[in-house]
A and B are shown apart, each in its own frame.
Chain A
Amino acid sequence: MKTGARTLIEALQREGVDTIFGYPGGVVLPIYDELYDSSIRHILVRHEQAAAHAADGYARASGRVGVCLATSGPGACNLVTGIATAYMDSIPVVALTGQVPTALLGNDAFQESDITGITMPVTKHNYLVKDANDLDQVIREAFYVARTGRPGPVLVDLPKDVSTSVVKGNRPLPETVSLRGYQPTYEGHVRQIDKAIDLLVGAERPLVYAGGGVVLSEASPELLEFIETAAVPVTTTLMGLGAVPGDHPLNLGMLGMHGTQSANYAVTECDLLIAVGVRFDDRVTGKIETFAPNAAVVHIDIDPAEIGKNKKVDVPIVGDVKAVLRAILRRMKKRGDTANWVARINTWKAQFPLRFRDDERLHPQYVVRQLSDVLQGEGIITSEVGQNQMWTALYYRFTKPRTWITSGGLGTMGYGFPAAIGAHFARPDLPVVDVAGDGSFQMNIQELGTVAHYKIPVKVVILNNMYLGMVRQWQELFYDRRYSYTELPPVDFVKIANAYGVEGIRVEEKGGVREAIETALATDGPFVLDFRVEREENVFPMVPAGAAINEMIGVREE
């Protein structure tokens, strides 16, 4: 006699699931009872939101599907922020939620919420399973939909009676999933590819604008070969950091609102923009009319709906970034002459390096640089959202894909710490560091309990300025320094960490930074580093909202 819960566990094992992040509750007890003696490891988080972020971090670090589990009603609702975060960044996550028994559905039963209705706008797809005999098929479809095409979160809602009921017989499961309404295009159209190559060969100032899609499709080697073969400079989005080595001579670093001067100038001057796995997000483009104003645009993306959504495209190529780049490399017979353009870009890079006031005081950028120097790219960095995120994006040198895990699209404060937990289980061989702000860290600070409980060796680097720093920066620049509700009182993060059984150090002077980072990394378990940094430091360069991206502020003109 096999129950729905047993079927679920077996289906998860068949999908290769080794870790689930979750939180038990009434209607998922049958599932938890099956988990109790299954081979699947379950990590008990302290808040369901963290379970969703951990599953997301696991997925980003490993390239596999992350799984989280919550009970119905409040448990399911607490997943929503995490699911929305994964949705905005196209991360494959399967969220399993308990639901009240089917007989009570729609009756406003205790801990009932219409979670499929609630998550419709933030999932790639979702399911309410009403018959345990459908479970096998639904789980297989859910994982397939989550990881194929443009990846994304899928939610499966499981009423309690579905988990407890007996599954009849063994309905054979087809080897492959076939959904007539879902047929992603992987290979790019050859004629379009040739058009793109013609434009590239004829271009004088071509530029590649690469994003998270490159990381998701594991296309970093192809992208690198492409930019080197064609001698095209590349700029990456926040989500694309690590797709190209940070110190590659053709890499201009990040573009957009907090992009480098050279990247933003290059976009403005280029005559051909090859957009690869990106979606022309407004944080990247600034005022869209002035984004790459003189360029022909080639857009490679697996999601046809992204092409032409924000920016008019001359050559659309729908397909998997990896497959399309391979086809381009195969079909490209000659390359254009970009020597002058590359020289111009190198002049910008030399003229406008990223810099901060590196005096005797403790500047957050200095902390990030030190962390970068210590880790040398051999580790995974997660971040919270705000100034800490942008300083890390700018001053940490990412050399490999999947080593930078951040909430780009939704901008979820509280994301980085639980995501780091997930990343650790995906890559236990690598050190994992969450760079946090004091504001963001307090959004999921309860996960100190989780890292203490399982001795998860995640390190937290808090750039503590006792402000909601990025909001304060906007208030300083655009609201006449009226710091309305952005100042946070001092918090003794070391004491909080200690209370959970986690070690920590507070650092108030520049001299102590390096040693503190090394101590944290040398410690076996979790560690919290509380850096009391310059309070009113800003993230520069910055493009004010609504401006063109070459209109940066906070830059020193040479």
Chain B
Amino acid sequence: MKSHTLSVLVENRAGVLSRVAGMFSRRGFNIESLAVGPCEEPNMSRITIVVNGDDGVVEQVTKQTNKLIDVIKVSDLTERESVERELALIKVAAESGTSRAEILQIAEIFRAQVVDVGSKTLVLQVAGDTGKIDALEKLLRQYGIKELVRTGKIALLRGAKTVKSSK
């Protein structure tokens, strides 16, 4: 069992996300993360899905996803050279001067940005691979995380290669 990152190019139509996500859930495929947004072409979207399973499961996931009429292309980026990023916003308690200073120091090490400063809280923005965000989250827990949101992973192939409609 390991995580696979799938890049799914879809028609930009109402209900497509529901078709893809619904197919995953009813076939018992476990979605770890899912991110969706517009891509380089106006009438397409790109969904990045992280799914856990052995090779057989991932093969089925890929084939079943490909079967959907609105899905243009599915690529498994796992074994290929790719850049993967996730974005998180973390609202952390920063009541005393000491903890505030420490949090800012940690943020600097992680290249996280402070995007909001309140009298009792800081909001950090951090981008990176899943492991980095997990690590930051773990460190900040001791100060008290008030709220946290993560985007889910997005990924692109490195170099000139692209995941494009071959059709």
Contact = CB atoms under 8 A, between A and B. Distances in A.
A309 B60 contact: yes
B102 interface: no
Given A181-B70, A308-B59, A120 B10 contact: no
A508 interface: no
B63 A305 contact: yes
Contacts of B10: 181
Nearest to B15: A116
B121 interface: no
B46 to A, nearest CB: 13
Contacts of B18: 117, 120
Contacts of A308: 56, 59-60
Given A304-B63, A305-B64, A309-B60, A120 B19 contact: yes
Interface in A98-131: 116-117, 120-121, 124-125, 128
Contacts of B33: none
Given A116-B15, A121-B26, A308-B59, A180 B167 contact: yes
Interface string A120-162: 1100110010000000000000000100000000000000000
Contacts of A181: 10-11, 68-72, 167
Interface in A409-441: none
A145 B69 contact: yes
B63 A125 contact: no
Contacts of B26: 121
- Chain A contact residues: helix, strand, loop or mixed: mixed
Contact of A120 (B14, B22, B167): B22
B156 to A, nearest CB: 21
Interface string B24-56: 001000000000000000000000000000001
A182 interface: yes
Interface string B4-24: 000000110011001100110
Contact of B69 (A116, A125, A303, A309): A125
A124 B69 contact: yes
Interface residues of A, number: 18
A179 interface: yes
B56 A303 contact: no
Interface string B62-84: 01101111111000000000000
A309 B62 CA distance: 12
A183 interface: yes
29 contacts: A117-B15, A117-B18, A120-B15, A120-B19, A120-B22, A121-B22, A121-B23, A124-B69, A125-B68, A125-B69, A128-B14, A179-B69, A180-B11, A180-B72, A181-B68, A181-B70, A181-B71, A181-B72, A181-B167, A183-B167, A304-B63, A304-B66, A304-B67, A305-B60, A305-B63, A305-B64, A308-B56, A308-B59, A308-B60
Given A121-B23, A308-B60, A309-B60, 9 more contacts: A120-B15, A120-B19, A121-B26, A125-B69, A145-B69, A181-B72, A181-B167, A304-B63, A305-B63
Shortest Cβ-Cβ A-B pairs, 3 listed: A305-B63, A125-B69, A180-B167
Interface of A: 116-117, 120-121, 124-125, 128, 145, 179-183, 303-305, 308-309
